[in-house]
Chain A
Amino acid sequence: MWIYEKKLQYPVKVRECNPRLAKYLIEQYGGADGELAAALRYLNQRYTIPDKVIGLLTDIGTEEFAHLEMIATMIYKLTKDATPEQLKAAGIEDHYVNHDNALFYQNAAGVPFTASYIQAKGDPIADLYEDIAAEEKARATYQWIIDMSDDPDLNDGLRFLREREIVHSQRFREAVELLKDERDRKKIF
């Protein structure tokens, strides 16, 4: 069960109407290494992982939904009140034709979200290594979006999200250490 707090994890500010940036950001919304994929991946892996790291997956998976909500807000603000002409100039007229200004779970190239983005191998080490890789890939994606963006307010929010990827990666790495821990055993190697 979840409890919803009706505010964003970090304030989202956008300086100007910029549909092109929204096109890039949709990668973190419905892309393979996006926030939706992350949330669903971690929350799904919880059932087949040792007890001592289930809580970590719950916490991080939940936070990914908070990030998803921030990304959605960014995309919404960047395209709100944009005219069809502006959307066309930004190269997202095909999105407009299909969805108007609605958000859709797809990547920056318009490919719809698919469950095959998410692995669940059942092996705790394999799954946690995938989670670490996912965090690093999301971190890199945020870097490339920041590189493309000239909106300082938006970048402030993106920097926060990138920092969270770093912390999540750290915690998954610690989870691996927990699972391979030898401290309880007599060390006769």
Chain B
Amino acid sequence: MKNFTHKKTYHPYISPLDPCPPIRTKTYSTPPHLYMGFQPENLEQFNPREALQAGTLWKAFYDPYYGPKEKGRGPNE
């Protein structure tokens, strides 16, 4: 799938009477497990040290989240 991302966007209605400066694009997270079903066999693994740091043994489930004050370093940013 090209252009696949774990961050989706939508554009809410902006009223001319909205008091706050409008946020035109809203984003939400759609992590990889939503698309997985039963975990398939023989998925690629992190080595043990990387796995302890990532929080998962499986590369397919790795989806780090970075806040607006951080520089995004994740594969899904």
Q: Which residues of A contact B (CB under 8 A)?
A: 10, 139-140, 142-143, 146-150, 152, 155, 159-164, 166-167, 169-170, 173-174, 177
Check A170 against B63 for contact (C-beta < 8 Å).
Answer: no
Q: Which residues of A contact B39 (CB under 8 A)?
A: 170, 174
**B-side interface size class:** 20 to 34
Chain B interface SS verdict (over half): loop
Please provide the chain B residues from 50 to 77 with a CB less than 8 Å away from any CB of chain A in the complex: 52-56, 61-70
B residues within 8 A CB of A164?
55-56
Contacting pair B65 A167 (CB below 8 A): no
Of the candidates B38, B56, B63, B68, the one whose C-beta lies within 8 Å of that of A174 is B38
B33 touches A167 (CB 8 A): yes
Q: Is the C-beta of B36 less than 8 angstroms from some C-beta in chain A?
A: yes
Name A173's closest neighbour in chain B (CB-CB).
Answer: B33
When the two chains form the complex, which single residue of B37, B55, B64, B67 contacts A167, counting CB atoms closer than 8 Å? B55
- Chain A residues lying within 8 Å of B65, measured Cβ to Cβ, are 142-143, 146, 159, 162
In Å, the complex CA distance between A32 and B33 comes to 23
A118 to chain B, nearest CB (A): 23
Q: Does B22 contact A (CB under 8 A)?
A: no
Does B69 contact A166, Cβ atoms closer than 8 Å?
A: no
CB–CB B67/A163 < 8 A: no
